[in-house]
Amino acid sequence: MKLPAFSQRPAHTLLFITEVKTFRVDADRKGILLTDVETIERGCDEPARLAKTLQKISEESAPFGRKLWLLFLRLPSHLISLPAMQVQGVDDDTLMQALQFELEGVTGQSSQDSRIAFQFIKSADEMSDYWLTQIDQLALDDLLKAAKQCKTKLAGLLYPGGLPMAIGEPDTPEWLRLECWPDQLYALHQNEDQLNLQVFSLESHHWQTELDQWLHGLDDKPSSEALLNNKLEVLPDTDRQYHLNQDHSLSLWLGLWAQALIANKKTPVPIIRPPSNFNPDIAWMAGTGGGALLLCLLHAGWFISQSNHYQEEADRLSKIDQSMQALRKQVNNSRDEKDKLEKKLGKLTGDADLIPNTLKRLQQRPAKLLLALANGRDEELVVETIENRNNDIVITGVTLKPQLANQLATYLQDNLPDLNWHVQAPTKKDMALFDDGGPWSFELALIDEGIPGFGEDEKK
């Protein structure tokens, strides 16, 4: 006899949402797929329309699982670098403020109007790299309401790139994968120590050269694989290739995402999650109040039954006195915590006052640099290019006299002291076009020394 099934609703549902289609799979509590990939002819091309798209998908598909995971192809994803000394030892709230400030300079979107998630990638050359995803706060609020109307709970919203395990051999400790997405190329390298992520913009004409340099700089050459979407680009040869327009590759890829998101307690990717409704202060107050109420009821019953025993009454009063002492100690501890929070708030206020001034100085950098070049350049020296290379400014040109490049470097160092640039000595090369030597090409680097004072207890 077959027992009746009280609920056929899956524990988890994963939706991979592209611009034109959506792919769905359901999984159990261990991240094992329960269904084949279902293709839904409805997509979404911007985060602001994600809530309405989710409602339409719900109408055209079976009921979602109790928890819903969204892999959204058009979710903004960025790689941000911060000076390692600036973020060393800071708490998550302060780190998020610093990342939002840097991201605001990249996207132009106010940090107060958006919600971000971040994941630390690595520290190298005194810089810490973070992987960020971002969504407008109003769009996230609409998405949470839409999920509730669809009778499910949003477990996480993330970019589909960066699966933290090899597709061909998920248990291998070292692997390399190239992922080709509509606007970006993700290059992931996993070794025994850490996961290294590099993002290349496909709109850049030099992305293939940059990718070759990154691959050449790897210490080891593990087994490699490529993940291709609908974007066709010429990639270096890999051991294996997977195409998301093929059912087998798509099912395998979504199954690994289900394991990474559901079975693993902590997945090393930035996931935008709904805010937690749990308030530890309220829970502590409720528990303390319930305990106090229970204690009072026990004392009341004890007092009624033992009202004729004065010695026991004295014991009860003694217990109350001990409770009062514990309460005073608790009040003192709460006062100390308040002082610590006020001190921390003062430090954050100081950082908030410093950021606009620093941003203003950074905005003045290009104009002051051009003015210094115009005033400090000799007529026999020609500046050909000014480019940004690895967050530093590199100036190249040609001079008839080699010492003129040194004079220009000295002039820039003396006249740009407040822009936090360290001017290195120029490198020169004799082009040997004249009989007596010359002209000389030169390269002059302005090293960015970072933002002084941000995150410090006291501003200088």
Instruction: List, for residues 297-317, the tens digit of each pLDDT value.
Output: 787 777 787 777 777 878 888
Answer whether 195's CB lies under 8 Å from 164's CB: yes
Beta strands in 127-249 (DSSP E): 127-136, 153-158, 175-180, 184-190, 195-201, 224-228, 240-243
pLDDT of residue 94: 87
Residue 396 CB neighbour total at 10 angstroms: 16
Residue 357 CB neighbour total at 10 angstroms: 11
**pLDDT(86) > 60:** yes
pLDDT of residue 459: 41
Question: If residue 22 lies in a helix (H) or strand (E), which one and from where to where?
Answer: strand 22-27
pLDDT of residue 6: 47
- Three-class secondary structure of residue 63 per DSSP: coil
Q: Which of 114-128, 243-257, 272-286, 288-302 has the highest mean pLDDT?
A: 243-257
pLDDT of residue 261: 94
Distances in Å between the alpha carbon of 203 and those of 330, 358, 440? 59, 30, 34
Residue 103 CB neighbour total at 10 angstroms: 21
CA dihedral defined by 37, 41, 46, 47, rounded to 10 degrees?
Answer: -50
At 330, phi and psi to the nearest 5? -65, -40
Question: 144-158, 233-247, 294-308: lowest mean pLDDT where?
Answer: 294-308
pLDDT of residue 19: 93
pLDDT of residue 346: 78
**pLDDT(454) > 60:** no
**pLDDT(165) > 70:** yes
Helix residue ranges per DSSP H, 61-206: 84-87, 92-107, 137-149
How many percent of the chain have pLDDT more than 90? 42
Report the DSSP pairing between strands 224-228 and 240-243: parallel
**Beta-carbon-side half-sphere exposure of residue 29 (alpha carbons within 13 Å):** 0
- Model confidence at 84, pLDDT cuts 50, 70, 90, reads confident
Distance (Å, rounded) from C-alpha 222 to C-alpha 218?
10
Q: What is the mean pLDDT of the chain?
A: 86
Answer whether 168's CB lies under 8 Å from 85's CB: no
pLDDT of residue 300: 78
pLDDT of residue 296: 79
pLDDT of residue 451: 64
Nearest to 175 by CA among 139, 220, 120: 220
Selected residue with higher pLDDT from 10 and 354 = 10
Q: What digits encode the pLDDT tens for the residues 361-410?
A: 777 888 888 888 888 888 889 999 999 888 889 999 999 998 998 999 99
- Model confidence at 280, pLDDT cuts 50, 70, 90, reads low
Answer whether 35's CB lies under 8 Å from 26's CB: yes
- Counting every residue written for the chain, the total comes to 460
User: Which residues is 34 bridged to in the sheet?
Assistant: none
- Model confidence at 132, pLDDT cuts 50, 70, 90, reads very high
With a CB cutoff of 8 Å and minimum separation 6, the contacts of 339 are none
With a CB cutoff of 8 Å and minimum separation 6, the contacts of 335 are none
**pLDDT(233) > 80:** no
Q: What digits encode the pLDDT tens for the residues 414-443?
A: 988 878 888 999 999 988 888 888 899 999
How many percent of the chain have pLDDT more than 70? 92
Domains of the chain as residue ranges with CATH: 9-277 (3.30.420.380), 362-448 (3.30.1360.100)
pLDDT of residue 344: 82
Taking CA 411 as the corner, what is the angle to CA 408 and CA 412, rounded to the nearest 5 degrees? Answer: 90
- Model confidence at 194, pLDDT cuts 50, 70, 90, reads confident
Taking CA 89 as the corner, what is the angle to CA 88 and CA 93, rounded to the nearest 5 degrees? Answer: 105
Radius of gyration of the chain (CA): 30
Tokens representing residue 10 in the block: 């899956």
Question: If residue 337 lies in a helix (H) or strand (E), which one and from where to where?
Answer: helix 310-376
Selected residue with higher pLDDT from 234 and 398 = 398
Question: If residue 347 lies in a helix (H) or strand (E), which one and from where to where?
Answer: helix 310-376
* Cα 255–chain centre separation: 24
- Model confidence at 460, pLDDT cuts 50, 70, 90, reads very low
pLDDT of residue 4: 44
pLDDT, average across residues 63-88: 92
**Beta-carbon-side half-sphere exposure of residue 373 (alpha carbons within 13 Å):** 20
